[in-house]
Amino acid sequence: MPYRRLPNTDSSRLKAIQIAYKKGKETNPIDLAFKQGTFQRVQSFMPKWDKVMTEHKTTYDIQIKNNKEYLKKYKKAKLYISHFIQVVNMAIVRGELQPSVKSFYGLEDDFTKLPSLNTETEIIDWGKKIIDGETSRKMQGLTPITNPTIALVKVHYDNFIEAFKFQKMLQKNHARALGSLAELRAEIDDIILNVWNEVEDHFSEFPEDLKRNKAQDYGVVYVYRKNEIGRISLFRNADINIS
């Protein structure tokens, strides 16, 4: 025998409450299979759920759309910071700069090694270090690094910082929308449970198959277990062979 399965996703919850709302609007109160009090709960709650579902989808879509542009700026900043450090290292190898120049940028004495630039935090930290360090060198009248210049590095670094802050704001908006959904799940689950319980109770005098058919018209979901699906297939095949 199939068993009832309550919604377990936000979209299935929305579908269930929409069906209940539609039934409540279209059906004469005398004929409605669930109580008017329950319908009032459905009617007052559905706009809330619809609103937070829309906010969740909107914030998610905006975040995903913006992420492509954000990654471009992230990779560009990483590239220019890495190239700047490599230029410094190669200048030291050629004898054009003294190894002590690395102290301006907070770099290790090993001029063959690049610092890790694999996270947003590392990009932010190292970008600031080399921009501050090169600015300090220039203020002392020392020859600036070129190809890339620190001005060009700073342009891409600032673009990344701006994109990083915006992306974090989008993530915060999405997290807030997720939180709103989480806060309402217990309430919508309770409403749907009451609707379905009252619907099944209303049709309890009918034979099981007819009871389920009528309840399904109100959005109640029934599923068969795997072993039951196998038996149903055998019965259907037998009917086909007999006919």
Whether 223 maps to a domain, the answer reads yes
Q: Which two tokens stand for residue 132?
A: 């501050």
Residue type, 241: N
Q: Which residue has the higher pLDDT, 128 or 241?
A: 128
Q: Please report whether residue 243 resides in a domain.
A: no
Residue 78 in any domain: the answer is yes
Among candidates 121, 127, 125, 122, which has minimal Cα distance to 168?
A: 121
With a threshold of 0.85, does the pTM exceed it? no
The answer as to whether 98 is a domain residue is: yes
What lies within 8 Å, CB to CB, of 107 at 6+ separation is 85, 88, 115
Total domains in the fold of the chain? 1
Query: Rounded to whole angstroms, how far apart are CA atoms 11 and 28?
Result: 27
Q: Is the pLDDT of residue 222 over 90?
A: yes
Calculate mean pLDDT across residues 1-20: 92
- The chain-wide mean pLDDT, for the chain, equals 91
Q: How many residues does the chain have?
A: 243
Confidence category of residue 234, pLDDT binned at 50, 70, 90: very low
For residue 242, tell me if it sits in a domain: no
Strand partners, 223: 3
| 238 pLDDT more than 50 | no
Q: Is residue 63 part of a domain?
A: yes
How far does CA 37 lie from the centroid of its chain?
35
Quick check: 232 pLDDT over 90?
no
Tens-place pLDDT, residues 146-176: 999 999 999 999 999 999 999 999 999 999 9
User: Has residue 92 got a pLDDT over 80?
Assistant: yes
Give the structural domain span for 102: 3-237
